[in-house]
Amino acid sequence: MASVNVSSAVKRFGSVEVLRSVSVDIADGEFVVLVGPSGCGKTTLLRMVAGLESVTAGSISIGDTDVTDLAPKDRDIAMVFQNYALYPHMTVSENIAFSMSVRGVSRSEAKEKIDRAAKILGLEQYLDRRPRELSGGQRQRVAMGRAIVRDPKVFLFDEPLSNLDAKLRGQMRAEIKSLMRKLNATTVYVTHDQIEAMTMADRIVVMRNGIVEQIGTPLEVYDTPQSLFVAGFIGSPTMNFVSGRLDGNNLVLPDGGLIPLGERVQGRVGDVVLGVRPDAVRLAEVGVEFAVREIEPTGSETLLLLERGDIEVTVIQRERTALAVGARVSVQFDARAAHLFDPVTGSRLG
């Protein structure tokens, strides 16, 4: 295992700048998830670490070695692709053995490693099958088996679960996480699914438009998002955003309504965007008036979609509701859990 250091990496395709000076330090044995919407550069960054894309500027090192200009095969990494990239004409065991056979590993050693990987992944009875005879989850395991027999310094995953159905995805998520922990493997994992990022990562790297928006543990990113984008991207249902003007202890809404924020905002004046997660908003006897626009029961909890003019707010309620669409409710915002953002730059205030 080894650490990975990406230092001021830039990637340009022609005149398009896909990555603009990205720096990430990944510690030995750490599970880091790169997350962001499509086109944010997360897959490009992963492919640059793998050596499948050249680095326009900056450098990448694995352990003590600068690998910026090394070929993929000389970087000692293993990668699991979104479509698994299993060789269709080889059996499962040949697929797993491929890297060893091109490197000239002895047959007995290879067999031992295949058997161990098959045992870890529960693939023992499938070793003689071909990939097309396997289910999606089994193919996924073969792809991982191919990676773990390599004993690489770094594991790279490129959206490995996006081709699986929701139930299997949840199961494989836990499997990958515990496998990587067991191997104490340095892992870089790309996904666009923030739930995957939250549940699997030691640290999350949130990316947008070729830059890193924030790096932190899942709860750091959730609790103190450094920008409007991160606040909106991480967490489900999405954080509520209300624009207004700070005046003393209150947020004054454009229509004149007041949201009391207490000491949280003491001394601040000016336009801000208030961010409050749906679980920090509650219905109360007194508060800001909203109308119920839609009710979404999920069973364990109920989502209330509220509106007041242009302002929309989602509330999560643990208890079931007797409200009907159109009802008028009063809402209080938990000031301690409120986030304030600059409406122009989108960055966090205080």
Partner 1 sequence: MTALEVPLVERRKPFVLSQWLRENLRYIVLFGLAALWLLPVVLMVSTSLKTQSQTLDPTHLLPNPIAWENYHAVLFELFPFGRYLLNSVIVSALAVTGDVLSCAFIAYGFARLRFPGRNVLFVLMISTMMFPFAVRMIPLFLIFKELGWMNTFLPLVVPSFFGAHAFFIFLLHEFFKGIPGSLIESARIDGANELQIWWRVVLPLSKPALAVVAILSFEQSWNDFLPPLLFLNDTRLYTLPLGLFTMAGNDDVASSWHLVMAAATTMVLPVLIIFTFAQKYFVKGITMSGIK
Residues that bind partner 1 (CB under 8 A): 50-52, 71-73, 77-79, 81-83, 85, 87-89, 98-99, 102-103, 146, 150
Query: What minimum distance in Å lies between the beta carbon of 75 and partner 1?
Result: 8
Dihedral of CA 209/46/20/275: which sign? positive
Which residue, 159 or 213, is less far from partner 1 as judged by CB?
159
Quote the CA–CA distance of 341 and 275 in Å, as a whole number: 7
Helix axes 136-148, 107-121, angle to 10 degrees: 140
| 158 vs 213 by CB, closer to partner 1 | 158
Compute the least distance from the CB of residue 14 to partner 1, in Å: 14
Residues in a beta bridge with 10: 57
Closer to partner 1 by Cβ: residue 190 or 259? 190
- Give 113 or 308: the residue with its C-beta nearer to partner 1: 113
**Closer residue to partner 1 in complex, CB, 180/231:** 180
- Write down the least CB distance from residue 90 to partner 1, Å: 8
Provide the minimum distance between the beta carbon of 87 and partner 1 in the complex, in angstroms, as a whole number: 6
**CB contact set of 67 (below 8 Å; sequence gap of 6+):** 51, 60, 61, 74, 75
- CA 57 centroid distance within chain: 25
The residue whose two tokens read 């003590």 is 64
Cβ at position 154, least distance to partner 1 in Å: 11
* Min separation Cβ 149 and partner 1, Å: 10
Query: Considering Cα of 254, then 260, then 264, then 269, what sign does the dihedral take?
Result: positive
By C-beta, is 82 or 209 nearer to partner 1? 82
Collapsed DSSP state (helix, strand, coil) of residue 176: helix
Q: How many CA atoms lie within 13 A of 195 on its CB side?
A: 10
Name the amino acid, one letter, at 303: L
Measured from the CB atom, the residue of 95 and 227 that comes closer to partner 1 is 95
Asked if the peptide bond before residue 237 counts as cis, ω within 30 degrees of 0, the response is yes
| Least CB distance to partner 1 at residue 54 (A) | 10
Q: Where does residue 11 rank: exposed (0-12), middle (13-18), buried (19+ CB within 10 A)?
A: buried
